[in-house]
Each structure stands twice: as C-alpha cells, then as structure tokens.
Structure 1
Amino acid sequence: MKAVRPANVIELCQALVRIPSVNPDGDPGCPVEQTGEAACAKYVAEFLTDSGAEAVLEEVESGRPNVIGRFPSNPSQDGKPKPRIVFAPHTDTVSVGGMTVPPFGGEVREGRLWGRGASDTKGPMAAMLWALHEMREEIPDLPVEVHFAGFMSEESAQLGSQHFAKTHGPYDFAIIGEPTSLKTVHKHKGCLWADIHTTGVAVHGSIPEQGVNAIVKMASLIQALDTDFRQKLKDIGGEDRWLGHSTISLGMIRGGTRSNIVADHCVLRVDMRTTPGLSRAGGALKILTEFVADHDATARVAALPETFPLDTNEQNPFVQRLVDCGAEVTGAPWFCDAAFLAAAGTPSVAIGPGSIVQAHTKDEFIATADLESGADFFVKFLKSWA
C-alpha cells in the first residue's frame, strides 16, 4: 500500500524526522539498522516523483545514496540553455546518544516539532521539498532549470556533496539547506584537523635527565601555539567582515606509555577554523606546518581531511535574488556542503528555516512557524522567476 502523503510542510517534516538516518561514523547512539540514509532518501525520491520530478538514487557508499530530483523544464523563449539551480540539503543526522526527547518521534507540541534532524537539517529539507511541491505546475516554465539533491554523509566527511560535485556539476547556483534563520550564508569558515607529533628518547623514570621527554617538548609547542600562533593567524589571514579571524583550538593530547618511562612520543590534535583570507595566504596546513617546524625541527604535522571556506560573492545575481526575497546575507563559523560545490565551480550559499543553536542538541526542535515561513520563502524565491 502506498504511504499517505503529508498534507503540509509540518507533516512532511514529521515524516522525515520519523525516518532514522543517523550518520554511522563514530558512535551513532542507536542500533545499526537506524543508521544510513537509504530509507530517508527513498522517501524523498517518492515525494519528488509525486511532485513531478524525475528522481534517482545514486549510491555513494554501500547502502548510502544521494537522492537527486530533476524537474521538467520547457525550452526557453530565446532557445538558449536555462541556468541550472539545485536545492541541496543533507539527509543524514548526527548521533542520537543522550537525547532527552524521542529522537524519531516528530512530536508537535508547544509550537515546536521535536526530534533529531528537526533543525539540522530535515526542517530546511522539508521547507524546500514542500515549496517544490507547491510550485510543481509552474516550475517547467520558469527561466531556470530546477533540481534537488539530498546529500548523504554531510555530518562526517561530506562524501555526498563531493560525489555530486564531481559527477553532476557545475551548476549555476546551489542553495544548501541548513538552519540559518532564513539568512543567506554566503561565507563560512573552513576546518582543518591535524595531529602534531613530538618525539623523544625513552629511559627509566628514575633517570629522566638521560632521556628526552616528548611531552615536555609538546608543552613548549603548546605555549607557542596558544600565543604566538594565534596572533600569526590574525596577522596572515586578516579580519573578515563576516567571519572574524581564523582560530585554533587545542582539543586532544596523549603521550607516553607508563608513568615510570620518559615519554618518547606525544600527539596533540588541533582544530583550526579558517577564513578565506587565510586560504588565499597559503592555507591552514602550510602555515601550521611552517610554524611547528620553526619551533621544533623534529616535530611533524599530519593533516586529517580538510574542509575549505565558503566565499561566494554577495553581488552574485542569484544571491541578490535571495536578498530581494528577504534573506539578508551573513556569515557563519561552521562549514557545510556548500564549500565543496563552490570549490568545484558552483556558486553556493546555505539557507533554511530554524536556528543553528538547536542543531545537534539533546532536545532538538524546530518551531512550526519557522517551517511554514521557510516553505513560504522558497515558494517566493521560485515565484520571483515567473
């Protein structure tokens, strides 16, 4: 029997929240059968099909597809190819461990819809999908070609957007679904995680003067990173109007094997949030590596996957159309799929209803009024082309 389709954007968001799609990386906080994006992607594909789009599932990893919908488009009056735009939220959520509300309940009370993903980012996705459904008759005659892409894996590694950018881009514009309080995030910081290793010489703990303590070497380096390097980031990357300056957080440290052995190895993991200015000046990894080498020639830096800043020109005509519809431009300290599409040549922004303050929380919710406003906004944006 075919599933009952939602009657409004709130019911659509409830349906999405009630489909577990927890990112399996790390500790998902739920049984394995509740991880992965397949069930959510299938539901979205069916909704897109009912809305007149041609929908396909593209596996990026086993059992973890992107969902792509292409709405029909009639030839333009001048015979020229239409610009292509894509609405692109993500279908995965973070862990549900420690939640104080039923993570897949989708309950509506107190003017809020509760559950994992309600804010990040099944609420924005519902607003986009509902607007596309409402506009299904008008979309073919718009002077733009309209697509939808639901990305897997945004909450870890961003594999879905990277796969899409390589196989389907570039587009003329991408609207990434994130809870931005319906503001147009045209800039956001990038992120570099890196491990810094110091080495020493292990000896018996009773004669430490005969060895070299890697922890002590790291302590000196930490002092430098926490003072001189922070200033260096400001000096090199500058102050961004929307994002401020690049930052470094010293997040994890481990070293040694036993208390009675002088430590011959120590590792510090750092989290750097980077501005476009720092990227233009050589990038976080280069600047960090050079600083560490200058301070301790025997230390080394091992980079983990890096995400890049977003720096879409606020004068881009697509951005200005969003602004004209009421979504003022802003920046964000977090990163999202927009950066990967932009790096592959698609001007991109992030926008959606709901607040980032509620994302990933133990009692995640989105206000139902915000959901309705989000759907209305995306309808307005689409109608602005008519």
Structure 2
Amino acid sequence: MTASLDLTADPVELTAALVDIPSVSGGEKAIADAVEQALRAQAPHLEVVRNGDAVLARTNLGRGSRVVLAGHLDTVPINDNLPLTRTGSGADEVLHGCGTVDMKSGDAVMLHLAAALTEPRHDLTFVFYDCEEVEAERNGLNRIERELPDWLAGDLAVVCEPSNAAIEAGCQGTMRVEVRTTGTRAHTARAWMGENAIHAAQPVLKRLVDYTPRNPVIDGLQYREGLQAVRIEGGVAGNVVPDSCVVTVNHRFAPDKSVAEAEAHLREVFDGFDVTVTDESAGALPGLTAPAAAELVEASGAEPVAKLGWTDVARFAALGLPAVNFGPGSPTLAHTKQEHVATAEIRHCADVLTRFLR
C-alpha cells in the first residue's frame, strides 16, 4: 500500500513521514509512489509527470521567469538509524534518522511549497529524483535531461541539499588522477639489481606536501582549492622489489577553472610523471548576479557562502542555470549513523523560500 503524505502538514511532520519510507538508492519506488500520489491529489494547480522513480511537477502560469527546485529521494544504506526518533521539544526539537539531513528535510520543504504556493511570483518546477547517492551515470537527472529536457529549463535552480540553512553558491569542481611510477623487479635479497617504484614516488609526495593551493574570490565568495593523495598502491610480494606504484590524487578546484584547465594544471604539477585522469566533474559559478538569485539572497537575510564540495548544482550550471544549494541540516552529518536535523532549520528554510517565491 502506498504511504500517505499530507502536503498541508508542517514541513517537520512531512520530513518525519518521508524519513520513515526507506529509499536506499535503487529502491525509491515506494517514496516516489507516495510523492506522486500526494502531488496529484493535493496540488491540482501543478502539472505532474513520473519518469522512472523520479517525480516532476510544475506550474504553468506564464510568469516571466521560472525557478527549479530539486532534491533527490534516495539515501545511503540504512545504518541502524531507522525508524525516525525525536529529541528535545519546541524550538529545540531534533529529528534523528537516515535521510533527515541528506536530504528528506529538503524534499519536505519542497513538497510543502509545491502544495502551498498556488500563485507564486515565478513559475516553479519541482524535481524529485532518484539515484543521486550512487555512480554518476545512474543519477536520475541524467535520464530526465535526456527524456524531459524542458523540465530542467529555468532562470535559477535551488538544490535543497543540506547547507546549514544558508545559501551556498556554486560549487567546486573535482578531478581524480593516477600518477604512476615504474621500476624493475628484483628479489629483496638482491635489491640493488632492481629499481623500487614505490621509492620513486617520493617526488610525487613531495610535490603534494609543498603544494600551495589557490583561494580565489569569485563574486565576493572565497573558494578554496586542494590537492590531496587519497590512495597509494604498489608492491608484488613481501620479498619483491616493486616495479609499479600508483598514487591517486584528488584535486578540488574553484569554479573559475574549467575541467581542461584543471587537467593542464595537474599535468604541470606532476610534470615528468605518467598522469591519467580517472574522474572529472566541472564546478559551478555562484551566479548570484542573476535577478532571481539576488531575490533569494535578499529573502534569506544572510550573506551567502561558497560551496566547498560538489553537488548537482553543477549539472544545472552546465545547462545554463545559475544554481545554489539551500537546505536544512549540516552536510558534515550526511551519511553518518548520527544523522540528525534541527526542526528550526527545516522551518527556517521553508519560511525563506516562501518569502522568495510568494
């Protein structure tokens, strides 16, 4: 039986209801069914479509601009942190459980707005999608972009990922490379007859230790770059001089740098070594000069900050939409057994977005 969601309820209660519907990546059917059923029954002012286990809804009021609000329905695997529990009371109440932060509280805010805002100042599109927490190629936004591209069009995208209830603008890009060194195998009893590839990686590590990252200011926001070794692999056996070593390096780069520029930079840093790119994602510029983004900042009453990390705002930026992250909860709690969100942050996000959109 499909779970019942009351879209007129306080967004805190909507969060609780969503959290108690398990939706680990790949298993979003039950929550997508509940979201679809609720939107069709309780928001007749919206056009609603289903795409796989994603649910999309929008107004068609002929406004001069459109805001896209997006949130994923899936969670990481449950870690003995369901069903939802509560601590505190009143303004100090806290919801605990898988998905409270990442990101069913953000989804609840979106559902609340979808039902409540029948005459918004901008046309609105709500995108509830699947498989964000797994490999990028499975992300439901990819499928939506292929099959329903007009549903992702707009003048601003607000991704309701956890951001401590503050506007986090844009996001960093990310790239992983493998830096390879080679040597010659030999028996460790006759080590002088070989060349140790792990020892040959010492200059790679030295360059990382000596590296000074950029901290550029973009649209008044300070982004931070970084270069970190995240894995080192080498060795054949306990009595063999290794002939191969691979240092995996992650580079987080500011959104004023393209993927091509990031790759060129890493090849310069590791000049003389064999460098292979294994993963890459462009960042997203803040876009705060866009009129709709400026309105959101004004409604929030707080200074925006740079997003240090990568989120799906980059996907919207690649489609030409300025994009920000704005949602309840601390991203440092995402994916942890201790995941929890303050109910005051849920209500604050709902209030800010209502002021912005009403």
* TM-score w.r.t. length of structure 2: 0.87
Tell me the distance in 2 between the aligned counterparts of 1:353 and 1:323: 16
Instruction: Find the partner of 2:49 among 38, 56, 60.
Output: 56
Letter in 2 for 1:268: V
Instruction: State whether structure 2 residue 319 is matched by structure 1 residue 344.
Output: yes
Unaligned runs of 5+ in 1: 24-34, 60-64, 77-81
2:185 aligns with one of 177, 186, 202: 202
Structure 1 match to 2:251? 272
- The CA distance in 2 between the partners of 1:180 and 1:245, in whole Å, is 17
Secondary structure of the structure 1 residue equivalent to 2:54: strand
1:216 to 179, 199, 204: 199
Alignment of 1:189-338 (within 5 A): 189-227=172-210, 230-231=211-212, 233-234=213-214, 238=216, 242-279=221-258, 282-292=260-270, 294=271, 296=272, 299-326=273-300, 327-338=302-313
Is 1:22 matched up with 2:36? no
Q: Residue type matched to 2:144 in 1?
A: F
Matching residue within 9, 12, 23 for 2:11: 9
Partner AA of 1:245 in structure 2: R
Change (3 A) 1:285 1:260: same
> How far apart in 1 are the matches of 2:5 and 2:288?
38
* Distance apart, 1:239 and its partner CA: 5.5
Unaligned runs of 5+ in 2: none
Q: Whole-Å Cα distance in 1 between the matches of residues 325 and 108 of structure 2?
A: 15
Contact kept, 8 Å, 2:233 with 2:246, in 1: the verdict is yes
Measured on the aligned residues, the alpha-carbon RMSD in Å equals 2.3
User: For residue 171 of structure 2, what is the aligned residue in structure 1?
Assistant: 188
**Secondary structure, aligned partner of 2:170:** strand
Letter of the 1:260 partner, please give it: N
CA deviation after TM superposition for structure 1 residue 300, in Å: 2.2
Alpha-carbon separation, structure 1, partners of 2:62 and 2:98: 41
The percent of aligned pairs where both chains have the same amino acid is 30
Mapped to 1, the partners of 2:144 and 2:267 lie a distance apart of 31
The count of aligned residue pairs is 343
Match of 1:79 in 2: none
Residue 40 of structure 1, CA deviation: 2.2
- State TM-score, norm by structure 1: 0.82
Residues 40 and 300 of structure 1, relative CA distance in 2, 3 Å threshold: farther
Paired AA for residue 309 in structure 2: W
Contact 1:246 1:274 in 2 (8 A): yes
Give the AA of the match of 1:290: E
Within the alignment, does 1:96 sit opposite 2:78 as a pair? Answer: yes
Asked whether the equivalents of residues 106 and 114 of structure 1 are also in contact (C-alpha less than 8 Å), the reply is yes
C-alpha distance in 2 between matches for 1:283 and 1:170: 28
In the alignment, is the contact (CA less than 8 A) between 1:131 and 1:376 conserved in 2?
Answer: no
